[in-house]
Chains A and B, each alone.
Chain A
Amino acid sequence: GENVEQHPSTLSVQEGDSAVIKCTYSDSASNYFPWYKQELGKRPQLIIDIRSNVGEKKDQRIAVTLNKTAKHFSLHITETQPEDSAVYFCAASRGEMNAGGTSYGKLTFGQGTILTVHP
């Protein structure tokens, strides 16, 4: 099955600095890579995702890059703010379809990165 490794496990930055979190995956058939942010005691929430036919995607201060050949993808947060402090998870999945025609993807998550942004 798929295996996703995430680094670093903790990341501490000063407000205004950039933060980069990296993930590697093992299944070359994986083609969807979402990133989730989880604040303390809350649910994981999607912040950005990328498909395998795209190399980079941006949304304001966050961006994700994907290198299919090397099987790794990264989350970049620029101009970090204290409210960016949270646990970030990467995930990977491959598309599947059941006999009834329902398409889905089982997510395999990385271990998480605790990001702390100091004011």
Chain B
Amino acid sequence: NAGVTQTPKFQVLKTGQSMTLQCAQDMNHEYMSWYRQDPGMGLRLIHYSVGAGITDQGEVPNGYNVSRSTTEDFPLRLLSAAPSQTSVYFCATAPGTYYQPQHFGDGTRLSIL
């Protein structure tokens, strides 16, 4: 039981490049989400999903795309990387019932040059 697995752990991109951050879970959780963490700003919600085929925007969605074709996977795509997207990205999951805590992956450290 791996929980929430994020890949890669580190990535350096050039401005304008695109890439996909992967998030996979083996807990059969309905809810999956992506956050970015910047110094002094806590964690901010980018996109979330309440099940396969269902996604919605969070607080800071611009520049990111998501899709959810299976319960297990929730990739985050950077369309055209910008230096402002340099951050640590966390994927989190939760069961499809309220009051359940969210479980975080180990994060992806992304630097945009």
**Which A residues are within 8 Å of any B CB, using their own CB?**
1, 4, 6, 9, 32, 34, 42-46, 49, 51, 89, 95, 98, 100-112
Question: Which of the four size classes fits the interface of chain B?
Answer: 20 to 34
CA distance A44 to B97 in the complex (A): 21
Q: Are A103 and B97 in contact (CB under 8 A)?
A: yes
CA distance A9 to B101 in the complex (A): 24
Given A1-B59, A46-B101, A98-B50 in contact, is the A109-B43 Cβ separation under 8 Å? yes
Smallest beta-carbon distance B39→chain A, Å: 9
Given A107-B45, A110-B42 in contact, is the A34-B98 Cβ separation under 8 Å? no
Q: Are A102 and B43 in contact (CB under 8 A)?
A: no
How many A-B residue pairs have C-beta atoms within 8 angstroms? Tell me.
72
Q: Are B102 and A100 in contact (CB under 8 A)?
A: no
- Among the 9-residue stretches B20-28, B77-85, B104-112, the one with 4 or more Cβ atoms under 8 Å from chain A is B104-112
Residues of B within 8 A of A106 (CB): 33, 45, 48, 58
From A43, A46, A105, A111, contact of B98 by CB (8 A)? A105
Q: Are B101 and A34 in contact (CB under 8 A)?
A: yes
Q: Are B41 and A42 in contact (CB under 8 A)?
A: no
Q: Are B96 and A44 in contact (CB under 8 A)?
A: no
From A4, A43, A95, A101, contact of B106 by CB (8 A)? A43
User: Could you tell me which residues of chain B, from 38 to 56, have a CB within 8 Å of some CB in chain A?
Assistant: 40-45, 48, 50-51, 54
CA distance A98 to B90 in the complex (A): 23
Residues of A within 8 A of B76 (CB): none
| Minimal Cβ-Cβ distance residue in B for A45 | B104
What are 29 A-B contacts with C-beta separation under 8 Å? A6-B42, A9-B40, A32-B98, A34-B101, A42-B106, A43-B90, A43-B106, A44-B43, A44-B104, A45-B104, A46-B102, A49-B99, A98-B54, A100-B50, A102-B30, A102-B51, A103-B98, A104-B94, A104-B96, A105-B94, A106-B45, A106-B48, A106-B58, A107-B33, A107-B43, A107-B102, A109-B35, A109-B43, A109-B44
Smallest beta-carbon distance B34→chain A, Å: 12
